């Protein structure tokens, strides 16, 4: 995938003491291929690669003390810029209800995302009303009603015999009467862009004057998603994009091109089918994730909403100061297990994507059990000073945990790699802060 390929290029650069212009050229060539293969729009790729090249062969980079790191930084910054730089927030109307209109092709995830938004807003103590505007797809109304019920949120419907425009209008009146904070209009999609659909959407837009028109697109469709976005934006004037199915086997092209092609920000990404699988989109974090620099911030936010804040803060500090011990590792494993798919979580740890061993262990719950057993067989001293775990200690730990010495060795190696990556990551964020401070 894109991430693996980018990480390979980046780690080659990072490891270099000296970087020549030829090294940069080779790296940008590989980046170019990786992006094209990930289905990023070719114009976007061209501009991107030229910008990186221009900045990376500049004197301040090649002559710096850590040119490899500097190039990685340039790539990271340019990737971030490509995706919009700042996090684009959901609009809030001056006077409630804030009106959000969901648009997109059939199957993109409009209805699912409507539910996810309700849940997202509930976490901020905001009440919503859902309006069932898809009168064409069989069972579409029922789908929304079931979602509404599971979220304890009212659904406004006039059945499937009324016009979507009328439903939207009356839905809005209901939202005002009920004094909800948000009203979310679910609409019908078609398999392809079609005049009638667009016309109807325009009429709904006229009637309700939405504060947000969110286009929901399936990230798995790559370039198509970008074309769809361009078209909808031209016709309707979008305020934001939600990229869904980023949990799947997407090549990443849509996330990287859609903003620069449409100039419309990605506001959220869908990471699964469940109602809580919606994340605000942070360009910088996404770039770091692609480059394998980890996404500690998202991990910490998840931790904060799922475990107690104290622990999450401590974790952040430990990652920053590299005083992460095996006790923390164990603690993390357990919390992570409660948080969601382990694979996603570990993917957010700096460098985890590069660690083949860790990657294999992600999906294998048995292996996790083994790791827990190994850590539990360590003495408190060993957990804090893994570097002092010698051959005889390893043997004892293996015996105590019912594993073998290779298992213990592997875990120690992985832990060591992880600490090294955290160190690099924290050095990198430090230098970034410094730079900002000077400006
Ligand atoms: P709509 O036609 O645009 O309303 O699409 P739906 O909301 O009905 O979603 C179509 C399918 O995509 C459903 O099976 C959803 O569960 C699925 N889906 C939506 N968003 C996501 C996502 O972020 N990840 C995954 N894996 N599936 C999603
Ligand atoms: Mg739908």
**The pLDDT value given to residue 365:** 64
In angstroms, what is the span from residue 109 Cα to ligand 1's centroid? Answer: 4
Flag residues of the chain having pLDDT under 70.
59, 293-313, 334-365, 424-439
Q: Are 373 and 439 in contact (CB under 8 A)?
A: no
In angstroms, what is the span from residue 242 Cα to ligand 1's centroid? Answer: 12
For the chain, the straight-line distance linking the first and the last C-alpha, in angstroms and rounded, comes to 36
**The pLDDT value given to residue 404:** 93
Q: Is 189 annotated as a binding residue?
A: yes
Q: Is 110 annotated as a binding residue?
A: yes
In angstroms, what is the span from residue 185 Cα to ligand 2's centroid? Answer: 11
Atom of ligand 1 nearest to the CA of 102: 3
**Residue 37 CB less than 6 A away from ligand 1:** no
The one-character DSSP state at 104 is -
**Residue 418 CB less than 6 A away from ligand 1:** no
Q: Any residues with CB less than 8 A from the CB of 368 and at least 6 apart, and which?
A: 333, 337, 342, 361
Query: Exposure pattern of 232-247 as b/e (b: 16+ CB <10 Å)?
Result: bbebbebbbbbbbbbb
CA pair distance 146, 165, nearest whole angstrom: 22
**Residue 247 CB less than 6 A away from ligand 1:** yes
Farthest CA pair distance, the chain: 77
Q: Is 403 annotated as a binding residue?
A: no
CA pair distance 4, 356, nearest whole angstrom: 11
Q: Is 98 annotated as a binding residue?
A: no
**The pLDDT value given to residue 13:** 81
Q: Are 211 and 175 in contact (CB under 8 A)?
A: no
**Residue 35 CB less than 6 A away from ligand 1:** no
CA dihedral (43, 48, 54, 58) in degrees, to 10, reads: 180
Ligand 1 pocket test, candidate residues 197, 273, 343, most atoms within 8 A of CB: 273
**Residue 259 CB less than 6 A away from ligand 1:** no
**The pLDDT value given to residue 12:** 84
In angstroms, what is the span from residue 272 Cα to ligand 1's centroid? Answer: 8
**CA atoms within 13 Å, Cβ hemisphere of 409:** 6
**The pLDDT value given to residue 67:** 78
Q: Is 105 annotated as a binding residue?
A: yes
In angstroms, what is the span from residue 143 Cα to ligand 2's centroid? Answer: 8
**Residue 188 backbone dihedrals phi, psi, to 5 degrees:** -85, 145
**Strand, helix or coil at 213?**
strand
How many CB atoms lie under 10 A from the CB of residue 191?
9
Q: Are 388 and 381 in contact (CB under 8 A)?
A: yes
**The pLDDT value given to residue 325:** 83
Atom of ligand 1 nearest to the CA of 271: 23
**Where are the strands (E) in 212-303, listed by range?**
212-218, 240-244, 266-270, 278-280
**The pLDDT value given to residue 141:** 96
**The pLDDT value given to residue 257:** 92
In angstroms, what is the span from residue 157 Cα to ligand 2's centroid? Answer: 14
pLDDT digits (tens, 9 = 90+) for 362-388: 445 677 788 889 999 999 999 989 999
**The pLDDT value given to residue 48:** 93
In angstroms, what is the span from residue 112 Cα to ligand 1's centroid? Answer: 6
Residue of the CA atom closest to atom 16 of ligand 1: 273
**Residue 114 CB less than 6 A away from ligand 1:** no
**Residue 369 CB less than 6 A away from ligand 1:** no
Ligand 1 pocket test, candidate residues 106, 112, 278, most atoms within 8 A of CB: 112
Q: Is 289 annotated as a binding residue?
A: no
**The pLDDT value given to residue 158:** 97
The label of the residue with tokens 């974090």 reads 285
């Amino acid at each position: 995938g894109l991430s693996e390929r980018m990480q390979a290029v980046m780690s080659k650069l990072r490891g270099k003491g000296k970087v020549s212009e030829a090294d940069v050229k080779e790296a940008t060539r590989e980046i170019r291929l990786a992006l094209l293969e990930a289905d990023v729009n070719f114009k976007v790729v061209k501009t991107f690669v030229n910008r990186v090249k221009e900045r990376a062969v500049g004197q301040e980079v090649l002559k710096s003390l850590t040119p490899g790191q500097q190039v990685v930084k340039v790539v990271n910054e340019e990737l971030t810029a490509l995706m919009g730089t700042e996090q684009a927030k959901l609009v809030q109307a001056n006077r409630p209800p804030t009106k959000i209109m969901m648009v997109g092709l059939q199957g993109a995830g409009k209805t699912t995302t409507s539910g996810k938004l309700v849940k997202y807003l509930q976490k901020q103590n905001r009440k919503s009303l859902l309006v069932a505007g898809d009168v064409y797809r069989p069972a579409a109304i029922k789908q929304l009603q079931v979602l509404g019920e599971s979220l304890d949120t009212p659904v406004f419907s006039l059945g499937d015999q009324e016009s979507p425009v009328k439903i939207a209008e009356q839905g809005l009146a209901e939202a005002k009467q009920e004094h909800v904070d948000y009203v979310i209009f679910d609409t019908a999609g078609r398999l392809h862009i079609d005049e009638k659909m667009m016309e109807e959407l325009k009429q709904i837009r006229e009637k309700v004057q939405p504060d947000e028109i969110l286009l929901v697109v399936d990230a798995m469709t790559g370039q198509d998603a970008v074309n769809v976005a361009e078209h909808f934006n031209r016709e309707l004037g979008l305020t934001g994009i939600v990229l869904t199915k980023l949990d799947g086997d997407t090549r990443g092209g849509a996330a990287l091109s859609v903003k620069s092609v449409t100039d419309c920000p990605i506001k959220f990404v869908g990471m699964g089918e469940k109602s809580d699988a919606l994340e605000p989109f942070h360009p910088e974090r996404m770039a770091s994730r692609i480059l394998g620099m980890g996404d500690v911030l998202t991990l910490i936010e998840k931790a904060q909403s799922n475990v107690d804040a104290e622990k999450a803060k401590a974790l952040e500090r430990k990652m920053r100061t590299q005083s992460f011990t095996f006790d923390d590792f164990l603690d993390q494993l357990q919390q992570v297990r409660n948080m969601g798919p382990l694979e996603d979580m570990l993917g957010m740890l700096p460098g985890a994507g590069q660690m083949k061993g860790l990657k294999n262990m992600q999906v294998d719950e048995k292996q996790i059990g083994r790791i827990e057993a190994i850590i539990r067989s360590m003495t408190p001293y060993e957990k804090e000073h893994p570097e002092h775990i010698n051959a005889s200690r390893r043997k004892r730990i293996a015996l105590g945990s019912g594993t073998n010495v290779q298992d213990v060795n592997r875990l120690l190696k992985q832990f060591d790699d992880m600490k090294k990556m955290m160190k690099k990551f924290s050095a990198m964020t430090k230098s970034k802060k410094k730079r900002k401070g000077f400006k």
